[in-house]
Amino acid sequence: MTPPSRFHGYAALLTGAGQGIGAAAARRLAAEGAAVLVTDLDADRAVRTAEQIREQGGTAEALSCDVGDRASAEAAVAHAVAAFGRLDVLVNNAYANHEDATLFEDEADEPWAHTLDITLTGPYRCSRAALPHLVASGRGAIVNIGSVNGEQDFGGHAYSAAKAGLASLTRTLAGHAGPRGVRVNLIAPGTIRTDAWAGRDADLERASALYPLGRVGEPDDIAAAVAFLASSDAAWITGTTLRVDGGLLGVNTGFRAAMRGGTDSR
């Protein structure tokens, strides 16, 4: 069944949309009628996603964008407005991450700074550039892609701090932009089967046992939530964090199993 055209006449810009969650969200918005600008640091990945969308009958353009650079972020917004005549939706998905040092005191400044710059300041740059156009659209929405790491310890000092900061920015920007007609929300995914987990099927299988729903997430699970929060179906929702995590934060499956002697009785 073809999804309803909730986004007919809409234009959307997505960052980090060359693969994974961003690509799935771009495909979902386009399938529901939006014209989408697929941006990614890797231009070839952005082009491939945009081509896939056009092959499926959607409207899409591709552009290389480095959210770590103000001029690049502003150019992406300008490109979307020039190409589509408007901008209604911004999806901030681009992020950076790095392996923690074994000891916290051995952490280096540069990886920390880079992770925060891309994962937190990147959405700040893109939102700042997009906001006047989202206000002008009369139905503007920003959807930030956060993480359960921003709410609970799953490792990753800089990444977790950046995602927690993004949740805070979501709330403060929602308060600022709400009176101007723009909604701002955040999705906190759990473990999602993306290229970041390539070659780690055993790890994903172990992780699945910690989820009350018995599996890790797929990019399309997050794309569906993006489409909801970006649409008029969420017209009275702003400043919120929507957990799309298979119940991970709400139910301590590991503890429950431990109290049953390690048995799993879903």
The active-site residue, picked from 10, 95, 159, 211, is: 159
Contact between 27 and 49 (Cβ < 8 Å):
yes
Tell me the sheet residues that pair with 167: none
CA 156 to mean position of chain CA atoms:
18
159 catalytic per annotation: yes
Cα separations in angstroms, 116 against 42, 106, 180, 197: 19, 18, 28, 21
Sheet holding 11-14, edge to edge: 59-64, 35-40, 11-14, 89-92, 141-145, 183-189, 241-244
Find, among 14, 16, 8, the residue nearest to 26 by Cα: 14
Question: Which residues are catalytic, by number?
Answer: 159
